[in-house]
Amino acid sequence: MRVDLHLHSTASDGALTPAEVVQAALTHRLHAIALTDHDTAEGVLPAQKAAHGSTLRVLAGIELSAEENGAERHMLGYAFDPTHTTLNSLLDRLKAGRIERVHAIIHKLAQLGVQLEAERVFAFAHGGSVGRPHVARALVAQGSVGSISEAFQRYLANGAPAFVPHARLSLEEAIESIHGAGGVAILAHPGRHPDYRALLERLVPLGLDGVEVYYPDHSQRLIRELRAFAARHSLLVSGGTDFHRRDADGSARIGALRFPKDLDPISEIERRAARYR
């Protein structure tokens, strides 16, 4: 199956609107996609509406930021009810926390002699999930730094002078809130974590449903290992590009993923999600 189950839109820090993501997926003749915006499912219904009447399947998706002993982990949720009340009140709380955090970062920047208007940061977020990338873009736009990476290095990265930690979910809460809304929980990009083996072992007893095996940074060797782990623990296998925006050389592209044609992750996800309904 031609799928891309890890995509960002303007509902969080992506550059394309949900409808534009759907359009790109149709252009690349994908069978199924999921928008997995950070801590918000606001793009899901607009994307499903945009795909209505086409052959493209749009699965409900989200990428929740969780924290474990100071380390950030991302938990993907799929096939849940995007209108679920408990999930949405949790997402509202996370959104309020993100807004507070931006104000705290701006306060620290001011103490460092860098004046930044909060409105400029929120303008980059288009009303969606606001985060450090939007602060970085606002700093670049007003010429305080030369690039996004400089903004992180000098001010925003973990341990940098304007860094502000933010209240996050635990991994257990992330999994439970996805299950509570009738969806499955899949660990995003395990390859980003040097301790991924131990992490996966801890997550299985917490109710983890699957592993994002196919991901641009994952080596063939890692893919084989993750597939074996998934088979051993009867976990789902998923994959996605983590697309945020088109880049100059065209290498970031929706659906640019070596996902095996014989795998049908959508039926598997739906079957497993039935456990939580």
Q: Which residues bind Zn ion (CB under 5 A)?
A: 63, 74, 188, 242
Q: Which residue is nearest to Zn ion (CB)?
A: 74
Based on CB atoms, which residue is closest to Zn ion, 144 or 177?
Answer: 177
Distance of closest approach, residue 42 Cβ to Zn ion, in angstroms: 15
Residue placing its CB nearer to Zn ion in the complex, 60 or 106: 60
Rounded CA-CA distance 152/12 in Å is 18
Q: Which segments within the chain are labelled E, that is strand?
A: 3-7, 32-35, 57-59, 61-68, 71-78, 184-187, 210-214, 236-239
Chain centre distance of CA 122: 19
Query: Which is closer to Zn ion, CB of 72 or CB of 270?
Result: 72
Q: Rounded CA gap, 45 and 49, in Å?
A: 6
Minimum CB distance to Zn ion, residue 244 (Å): 8
Using CA atoms, how far apart are residues 186 and 144, in angstroms rounded to an integer? Answer: 38
As a whole number of angstroms, the distance between CA 14 and CA 106 comes to 22
Least separation in angstroms between CB 216 and Zn ion: 11
If the CB atoms of residues 145 and 175 are measured against Zn ion, the closer one turns out to be 175
We find the least distance from the C-beta atom of residue 62 to Zn ion, in angstroms, to be: 10
